[in-house]
Structure 1
Amino acid sequence: MRNVFSLLFLGLSALFAVTHAVEIQRIRRTNVHLEIDAEIVLASMISHQRQSTAAGNSVSSFLNNSWRGVGMDIAVNGQSSSALS
């Protein structure tokens, strides 16, 4: 009877060890996919931020140049620069 319980315990221990190993492998594969997904999202966010910054810089540059043009027109027409504010 003692041998039966020993074999049963050994079998359950082996089953637990195999199940545990399979679960660890599944978690590792999931973590690798999550890390790759996180890298893709981060790269996408950086790219979007760079595009937004470039677009924002272009708009700012355009507005600054346009504003300078307005300032020059006003100065040429003899009006004071306080009219801009």
Structure 2
Amino acid sequence: MRRKSEMLAELKLMLNEALRAQGAGESYTKLAKAQGAVDGYMRALLDSGVATKQELLELVAAERARVNGPATREMLLETAAEIAAA
């Protein structure tokens, strides 16, 4: 059986490929296949108890920031009154 670190490294690679495909505007078929593979792998890690939901969320956030760069700004929600006044 593979070690946890190897499995998480494989997930990072899969996430990287999916995020790069999305950023490159790849076809829907290629993107759906990559995202489906990532989803299935994450589900297997959760179901087998190899990784927790929090670990996976942190891994995805870190990989997304590494590929797409950090968030550039915070979004503020406008109230209904502000929207109506505009």
TM-score (norm 1): 0.32
Higher share of residues assigned helix: 1
Q: Which has the larger radius of gyration?
A: 1
* Higher RCO structure, 1 or 2 (CA under 8 Å, sep 6+): 2
TM-score by length of 2: 0.31
